[in-house]
Chain A
């Protein structure tokens, strides 16, 4: 078993416009990886990390990522899980966001047999920002366990957690999202929104959206909703000539567009859409 560490540093006042794309490939000899991202003051960077696996190894893969966003920096990290369906994927992420810094964390969770992702955002600085966008698709026997938290310590910090997902066949999803306003974070705002589309009678969705608050001058809101795809939408699309499954896929993907469209690489975007389609086709 080996562990690989990638260290990505964006120097002070450097603005990188194109995304840095890293592929991490799991096999029986590569079962762990660590990525450390340092965004120095006034820097701007975007990093895309794609997790794949070589064969259908039944292995446990552990990924770790630490993001340090220094004052006034902007860092966007997108993680894409395209592992084979036999992998057990565990991903632990944390970020430390300083004054006026902004961290965007996106997660596209498609592959693996079990996928457990933890993200902990520490909004330490004044006016710090953290946005989390997550999409997932659960099919076959997949088990998804997402645990996101944003801890507000800095004054006037803001966080936004947005999770969209679809569960087909026997998939099980557990989502825990926490916005934690600590004493001293006056003027902060936090929002959390989770929406789960249930595509199968055997799928199971568990949600625990938590708001914790020790400060008076804040505004926090969360919402969680789940349900079947609106039959009238399917009917409308079918009346326009689409088959049932095509209509259903279109509706599911429309929920994911916001995250997928932001990927600055057309090949990658198409691959993600293909993978989503494949999983929804299998569910037919």
Chain B
């Protein structure tokens, strides 16, 4: 029996640097119609949005807490601050931002990435977007990339047409909560036929302890257009519970292609109860690339509704659950039109007592003849105190379908480690190399600098357990 050296806490470097909890406005803790009213006034909402928020709060109060999945008992909504306005309004240059906020994003490498490889950047700090930029060339082509508040003012009609139509407030309890207190997030509109060749990125940083972040991302990719959108999230660790209940709504029109990549590295006091959905029209494509590393509890199942004939969905995801983490993630696909296809590839790693669960569903409706779906889940267990579960649901309502599902679970083989060690690698290096190889199909889907970040995160996570 080999003994294992276990390092209890690892340094998450830049992700854990806390700034003072400075803000220009903060609501009281809890969730009431008064607080919703204050947020609405503070954000200068149009009347329809104010009414929508109140209605969502009513729905929130009616819907019961989910009875399945990881325990979210630690989440006490009476102790969550729903809205924190940072000490800065939205700026067009990084230099204009307060030093502390600018330093945070500098350390996270966002301005550098913007210079090198992004066509536009949005940066949110607590409840509000503090920075937004987009390349001039894209603006000329009619691309809109702005924060949701600006979109609500300047493109109110479009926002009203699409806002929470893909994820209605009654979808589940946290969708209703989001509808009531949402703040920040990004709005993207890609006109017909425009191909955005360089990715756009929004980064969400939650600094305030005990706060909730409820950003709303609304992306509309018109007929024949193309976009790669990257979402990054992180927060420093506190002893109180923080909540992230964002909402992502993606509308992929006829023949359009949208790739939505996420590297999520929340701190381990975070409840990440995010909702992401895409409606894909005829011959459109949605590609999800998702890396879940942080948070105490995650419940995240990006959903693709294949509404038009020939629509396609692809999901590639990896999750890494360490000590004290319960990551319940997966993907959902609804085949709602003929000849639609979906591919789900999920990999999970659990170690140091962490729980990684794949939970997903594939539903093929009556009319979705000729549809195809392939689901593959692989789980790696790095010790025997962790947990890894696979729970896929498959519901077929017509006979003209081809559906396959496969899952594997296991450990790193001693032979593979031994072989690499005979080639001169230390045991840690061998283990890290095998894990990197395991997630390679996902990291190769990411832009280079994000693949590097993911590998660094894996190295960081593996430092906690030297087998």
Contacts and interface: CB of A to CB of B under 8 A. Distances in A.
Given A198-B399, A204-B396, A206-B395, A211 B387 contact: no
A65 interface: no
Contact of A211 (B385, B389, B402, B404): B389
Interface string B213-232: 00000000000000000000
A212 B409 CA distance: 9
B407 A204 contact: no
Given A198-B396, A223-B405, A215 B391 contact: no
Contacts of B406: 221-224
Contacts of A225: 403-405
A222 B400 CA distance: 23
B382 interface: yes
A199 to B, nearest CB: 7
Interface in B285-311: none
A213 B409 CA distance: 8
Contact of B384 (A183, A199, A205, A209): A183
B379 interface: yes
Interface in B379-432: 379, 381-411
B403 A218 contact: no
A210 interface: yes
A135 to B, nearest CB: 19
B410 A220 contact: yes
Given A213-B379, A214-B384, A206 B393 contact: yes
A13 B408 CA distance: 38
A55 interface: no
A204 B382 contact: no
Interface string A218-238: 111111111110000000000
Given A200-B399, A201-B400, A211 B407 contact: yes
A110 interface: no
A79 B411 CA distance: 36
A210 B391 contact: yes
B399 A210 contact: no
Contact of A216 (B381, B403, B404): B381
B409 A218 contact: yes
Question: Interface on chain A toward B: helix, strand, loop, or mixed SS?
Answer: strand
For chain A, the bracket of interface size reads: 20 to 34
Nearest to A167: B399
A210 B381 CA distance: 16
B410 A198 contact: no
Contacts of B392: 208-210, 224
B221 to A, nearest CB: 32
A212 B389 contact: yes
Given A206-B394, A207-B394, A228 B409 contact: no
A219 B405 contact: no
B402 to A, nearest CB: 5
A207 B362 CA distance: 10
A177 to B, nearest CB: 11
Interface in A165-223: 181, 183, 186, 196, 198-201, 203-223
B404 A210 contact: no
Nearest to B369: A201
Contacts of A221: 406-409
Contacts of A222: 390, 405-407
B381 A215 contact: yes
Interface of B: 366, 379, 381-411
Interface of A: 181, 183, 186, 196, 198-201, 203-228
Given A199-B399, A205-B394, A216-B381, 8 more contacts: A205-B396, A206-B393, A206-B395, A207-B405, A208-B391, A219-B409, A221-B406, A224-B394
24 contacts: A181-B409, A183-B385, A198-B398, A201-B400, A207-B393, A208-B392, A211-B390, A213-B379, A215-B384, A216-B381, A216-B383, A219-B409, A219-B410, A221-B406, A221-B409, A222-B406, A223-B406, A223-B407, A224-B394, A224-B405, A225-B404, A226-B396, A228-B400, A228-B401
A-B residue pairs, 5 tightest by C-beta: A198-B399, A220-B409, A216-B384, A211-B390, A223-B406
